[in-house]
Amino acid sequence: MQTLLGKHILLGVTGGIAAYKCAELVRRLRDEGAEVRVVMTRSATEFVTPLTFQALSGHTVHTDLLDPEAEAAMGHIELARWADAVLIAPATANMIGKLAQGIANDLLSTLCLATQAPIAVAPAMNHIMWSDQATQDNINTLRNRQIAVFGPAFGNQACGETGEGRMLETTELIEKLASIFSHESLRNTRVLITAGPTYEAIDPVRFIGNRSSGRMGFAMAEAAIEAGAKVTLIAGPVHLKTPPKVDRIDVESARQMHQAVMSQIDDCDIFIATAAVADYSPAQTHDQKLKKTEETLSIQLRRNPDILAEVAATGKVFSVGFAAETEQLEDHARKKLQSKQLDLIAANQVANHDRPDEDTGFNSEYNALDIYWANGHIQLEKARKTELARKLINIIAEHYKNKH
Ligand code: CTP
């Protein structure tokens, strides 16, 4: 199941007999390529020891909100941000009730309030408890809040009775969890994405480059695949694994990237330019390594083609640009939106000396984006690039659909 590959799954285990089945669930999630961290409620530890989950997940199991040692390793807010999805399995009637009421009196319920990731619950309880009006009202509240409810199944129960209340089997839970990450908003759509920096050669060993990691573009490619698109990714020099199902073309310089994009553009519906393309390259690339002779050295630069502007000017492709700005974010972004005739632009603040602790932008795993279009704006708050990419792909899909 490729949609779980590389995903951060926060598994919340609450106190029910089905907790023992989650040992297998952790192992199977890891087999699917997911990274799993486990949070247990106090009562869950009465059924299965944290050590079991620690051994299977490869990470310390978190049980307490106020544990200074665990908070020092990975605090609850960090855990909440780390998660791509939260799965509570088994979910007791008590935990479902707490989620419905917004109660945060232990680590797991607090995490659920603190995360922006999708949440799913897999109820497991006696069938009479499940059918009780209070439980059903709480479940409906969760559904209305877009919290996914997996199951429960009908069958024999640990209490000896038969009815609806069994936790779903591991395979079903994994399939349902994977479906959270795949939706069809870009089905039958071809998406071309540029990512990473470009290197402009000065001589055989030196180049002019930039600090772009390529993470945002790769996350966009993965999110577009999850949305059902056919994706081609044109990548500058980066150290990142190609997301599953993505066709990747590697290039080095801006001119190579330009050429690669132009060779693909007729087969594409949406172009997303996340690459940090060098605006200039050395007018002359030396065949041999330059020797130091003079006290000063000048390198003459010439303008590179603006790939995004050229693609957008064809008028045939829905074009999305990125803008990394150090000041006057909206002003600069809107000017680029207009001058390059874009449909959307995603702007982010880089190297803001007023906020040196804000770990976002070029080389970070996190980012925050402001999305502008001709008559609108939406702000996507700081989150992991993978999370932001999913949101941005949804926004792009919506605007693309409206345009056509
Ligand atoms: N872009 C491009 N080809 C270039 C330069 C930029 O496709 N030769 C794309 C980038 O991928 C990004 C957007 O254009 O989507 C950035 O716009 P740009 O005006 O080039 O931004 P900056 O390089 O930051 O411009 P400036 O230095 O003028 O702020």
pLDDT single digits (tens) 81-137: 999 999 999 999 999 999 999 999 999 999 999 999 999 999 999 999 999 999 999
pLDDT score of 362 more than 90:
no
Q: How far is the CA of 159 from the centre of ligand 1 (A)?
A: 64
Specify the DSSP element, H or E, that contains 160: none
pLDDT score of 363 more than 80:
no
Find the mean pLDDT for residues 163-176.
Answer: 93
Q: How far is the CA of 308 from the centre of ligand 1 (A)?
A: 8
Find the mean pLDDT for residues 204-220.
Answer: 94
Last residue of a domain, one of 130, 152, 180: 180
- In percent, the amount of the chain with pLDDT more than 70 equals 96
Q: What angle do CA 235, 232, 304 make, to 5 degrees?
A: 45
Q: How far is the CA of 157 from the centre of ligand 1 (A)?
A: 61
CB distance 308 to ligand 1 below 6 Å? yes
Pocket test for ligand 1, best of 210, 257, 277 (most atoms within 8 A of CB): 277
Q: How far is the CA of 228 from the centre of ligand 1 (A)?
A: 28
Query: With bands split at pLDDT 50, 70 and 90, how would you rate the model's confidence at 51?
Result: very high
Same domain, 359 and 331: yes
Instruction: Classify the phi-psi angles of 6: left when phi > 0, otherwise alpha if psi is within -120 to 50, otherwise beta.
Output: left
Find the mean pLDDT for residues 375-396.
Answer: 88
Find, among 299, 295, 298, 292, the residue nearest to 278 by Cα: 299
pLDDT score of 358 more than 60:
no
CA distance 223 to 234: 16
Burial environment of residue 19 by CB neighbours within 10 A (0 to 12, 13 to 18, 19 or more): buried
pLDDT averaged over every residue in the chain: 92
185: in domain? no
325: in domain? yes
Give the end-to-end CA distance of the chain in Å, rounded to a whole number. 32
Same domain, 173 and 206: no
Pocket test for ligand 1, best of 210, 212, 270, 279 (most atoms within 8 A of CB): 279
pLDDT score of 356 more than 50:
no
Query: With bands split at pLDDT 50, 70 and 90, how would you rate the model's confidence at 158?
Result: confident
Atom of ligand 1 nearest to the CA of 336: 19
CA distance 217 to 210: 15
CA distance 104 to 85: 18
Q: Whose CA is nearest to atom 20 of ligand 1?
A: 279
Same domain, 303 and 386: yes
| Interval 276-299: pLDDT, tens | 999 999 999 999 999 999 999 999
DSSP secondary-structure letter at 167? P
- The most confident of 156-165, 284-293, 346-355, by mean pLDDT: 284-293
Return the pLDDT at 13. Answer: 98
290: in domain? no
Return the pLDDT at 161. Answer: 82
CB distance 279 to ligand 1 below 6 Å? yes
Return the pLDDT at 163. Answer: 87
Find the mean pLDDT for residues 180-184.
Answer: 81
Same domain, 134 and 215: no
Find the mean pLDDT for residues 162-185.
Answer: 89
Return the pLDDT at 244. Answer: 84
Return the pLDDT at 118. Answer: 94
Find the catalytic residue in 22, 112, 159, 268.
159
CB distance 386 to ligand 1 below 6 Å? no
CA distance 63 to 43: 10
Query: Could you tell me the pTM of the whole model?
Result: 0.70
Cβ proximity of 37 and 11 under 8 Å: yes
Tell me the residue type at 54.
Answer: Q
CB distance 306 to ligand 1 below 6 Å? yes
236: in domain? yes
Same domain, 259 and 129: no
Which residue in the block uniquely carries the two structure tokens 């803008």?
323
CATH code, domain carrying 344: 3.40.50.10300
Return the pLDDT at 237. Answer: 98
Is the model more confident about 351 or about 164? 164
Same domain, 131 and 222: no
> What is the CB-side half-sphere exposure of residue 292 using CA atoms within 13 A?
2
CB distance 277 to ligand 1 below 6 Å? yes
Tell me the residue type at 9.
Answer: I
CA distance 133 to 141: 12
| Interval 256-269: pLDDT, tens | 999 999 999 999 99
Token digits of residue 394: 């949804």
Same domain, 80 and 203: no
* Domain span at 145: 2-180
Q: Under DSSP, is residue 141 helix (H, G, I), strand (E, B) or coil? A: helix
Which residue in the block uniquely carries the two structure tokens 């299965």?
48
CB distance 322 to ligand 1 below 6 Å? yes
Burial environment of residue 31 by CB neighbours within 10 A (0 to 12, 13 to 18, 19 or more): exposed
Catalytic annotation present for 268: no
pLDDT score of 308 more than 60:
yes
292: in domain? no
Cβ proximity of 392 and 380 under 8 Å: yes
CA distance 139 to 128: 14
258: in domain? yes
Query: With bands split at pLDDT 50, 70 and 90, how would you rate the model's confidence at 387?
Result: confident
291: in domain? no
Return the pLDDT at 1. Answer: 52
Same domain, 101 and 211: no
Instruction: Classify the phi-psi angles of 103: left when phi > 0, otherwise alpha if psi is within -120 to 50, otherwise beta.
Output: beta
- Please state whether beta strands 119-123 and 35-40 pair in parallel, antiparallel, or not at all (unpaired): unpaired
Cβ proximity of 157 and 237 under 8 Å: no
Q: Count of domains in the chain?
A: 2
Q: How far is the CA of 276 from the centre of ligand 1 (A)?
A: 7
Same domain, 244 and 386: yes
CA distance 24 to 57: 11
CB distance 321 to ligand 1 below 6 Å? yes
Same domain, 116 and 92: yes
Q: What angle do CA 147, 37, 141 make, to 5 degrees?
A: 15
Q: How far is the CA of 304 from the centre of ligand 1 (A)?
A: 10
Q: Which of 242-246, 260-264, 271-275, 328-332 shows the lowest per-residue confidence on average (mean pLDDT)?
A: 242-246
Same domain, 259 and 118: no
Same domain, 220 and 323: yes
CATH code, domain carrying 102: 3.40.50.1950
Return the pLDDT at 384. Answer: 81
260: in domain? yes
